[in-house]
Amino acid sequence: MTPSPRVLLQELFDVALKAADPDFVLEQYLPADRSGKLIVVGAGKGAAKMARALERSWQGDVSGIVITRYGHAIACDFIEVIEASHPVPDEAGKIGAERILDLVSGLDENDQVICLISGGGSALLSLPAAGISMGQKQALNKALLHSGASIEEMNCVRKHLSAIKGGRLAEAVFPAKLLSLAISDVPGDDPSVIASGPTVVDETTCEQALNILKRYNVQIDENISDALKSGQMETVKKLNPKNEFHLIATPQLSLQAAADYLEKQGIACMILSDRIEGEAREIAKMHSAIVRQIQDHHQPIAPPCILLSGGETTVTIKGGNGKGGPNAEFLLSFLEQVRDLKGVYAFAADTDGIDGSEDNAGAFVDPTSHGRAKMQGLKPSHYLEENQSYDFFKKLDDLFIPGPTLTNVNDIRAIYIKEK
């Protein structure tokens, strides 16, 4: 018996999460010989769970430090877990990054280091480059988060202003053996973008970072501008070729797991893309156009069916007191576009369990959403204009609040389309 649309959509989220759970996917990427001494470092929303999964699979001595977001820590036996702030970095993240650099410095070629990287690592592994204060780094992060810049663009700037990202952590590890295991939270799965690439070479330049800041009208202090213009903050372009890097979970793998689950249920499904980027409200318009094509013309797939997509949308904050992340904003815009349709159910959530900075991962939309909003005197267009998607869905009791998931493969969107 097929569950209700809302239950089915939430089940898809759970299936996608399992495909990115370190407990199920990390061990296969470890070396065959796990008896030696191991130093573990890392950062990200999934770093603590990755560290625990590694401990359970390693037979030799293990020690190390990983940094995760406040509220995302879990107990490890040998690896220290530090909590820090995300998405705006804080002193705890700075101290943790300094300790990680100290831990890996002075090693020799007989030492083995494993670096655990996941989404959020760029803010959590925050050590400003020489001459840049923590206050300047925090202000710049806030400005970028509100600018509408993509994750790739934000991380291009971040890595050039860092003493540990953009390949600099790998430089500190040399000449020890380095294995990086990463959970991708970026469209396209570029290792140099995930957590701003602390252990891989970076092809972007200081000039590109400056252009991004100009493009989004992000104001920077003169000392940062001068340092970028001079090229003194250039990232690492060459590293030890023996370093290994493996993606252990990606958005596509999670989307495919959800699609496979639907196939077993006998429900038609189509994955639109694992790397959709852009303004959340505009991406919603694209999705709604496909929904109408399906209901009107049975193209590119016939209903009943489910559309799946992943990636990372952005929100440019225009409302003075905007509250709500890109998934909720996507759904609020989507609701505006499909308010006259019947048989359309939608779900969007961040796989880390947090949509932006609130306590929800995302929200739900169903054929009754617009009518229920109208009964309460809620105008979706007003809440969209003010970037108040969180409050809108809270009043409808349609927020999705699973809590921290301890992994992160970006956003997942699922739209269930029935016949007209």
How far is the C-alpha of 259 from the C-alpha of 238, rounded, in Å? 39
Q: What is the mean pLDDT of the chain?
A: 96
The pLDDT, as a whole number, for residue 1 is 64
Res 320 pLDDT > 70: no
Angle between helices 134-147 and 151-160 in degrees, nearest 10: 160
End-to-end CA distance of the chain: 22
How far is the C-alpha of 329 from the C-alpha of 148, rounded, in Å? 13
Tell me what percent of the residues of the chain surpass a pLDDT of 90. Answer: 94
pLDDT in tens, 363-399: 999 999 999 999 999 999 999 999 999 999 999 999 9
The pLDDT, as a whole number, for residue 381 is 95
304 φ, ψ to 5°? -75, 145
Res 321 pLDDT > 80: no
Count of residues in the chain:
420
The H or E element spanning position 46 is: none
Res 2 pLDDT > 90: no
pLDDT in tens, 118-134: 999 999 999 999 999 99
Mean pLDDT confidence for 329-347: 97
Query: Tokens 């852009």 map to which residue?
Result: 278
Q: Are residues 58 and 32 in contact, defined by beta-carbon separation less than 8 angstroms? A: no
From 146, 131, 41, select the one nearest 87 (Cα to Cα): 146
How far is the C-alpha of 172 from the C-alpha of 235, rounded, in Å? 13
Mean pLDDT confidence for 134-152: 91
Strand partners, 413: 309, 348
CB under 8 A, 24+ apart: contacts of 110-113: 110/176, 111/37, 111/39, 111/176, 111/177, 112/31, 112/36, 112/37, 112/38, 112/39, 112/176, 112/177, 112/179, 113/38, 113/39, 113/40, 113/41, 113/173, 113/176, 113/177, 113/178, 113/179
From 81, 94, 84, 11, select the one nearest 50 (Cα to Cα): 81
The pLDDT, as a whole number, for residue 138 is 94
Tally DSSP H helices, then E strands, for the chain: 16, 12
β-pairing verdict for 411-417 and 344-350: antiparallel
Enter the tokens of residue 99.
Answer: 């300790």
In which band, very low, low, confident or very high, does the pLDDT at 357 lie, cut at 50, 70 and 90?
confident
Residue 183 CB neighbour total at 10 angstroms: 33
Tell me what percent of the residues of the chain surpass a pLDDT of 70. Answer: 99
How far is the C-alpha of 214 from the C-alpha of 220, rounded, in Å? 10
How far is the C-alpha of 401 from the C-alpha of 358, rounded, in Å? 10
Domains annotated for the chain, with CATH where assigned, are: 5-14+251-417 (3.40.1480.10), 22-249 (3.40.50.10180)
The pLDDT, as a whole number, for residue 377 is 97
pLDDT in tens, 175-225: 999 999 999 999 999 999 999 999 999 999 999 999 999 999 999 999 999
pLDDT in tens, 76-111: 999 999 999 999 999 999 999 999 999 999 999 999
From 160, 135, 155, select the one nearest 145 (Cα to Cα): 155
How far is the C-alpha of 386 from the C-alpha of 56, rounded, in Å? 47
How far is the C-alpha of 162 from the C-alpha of 204, rounded, in Å? 14
Can you say how many angstroms the Cα of residue 104 is from the centroid of all Cα atoms in its chain?
26
The pLDDT, as a whole number, for residue 319 is 65
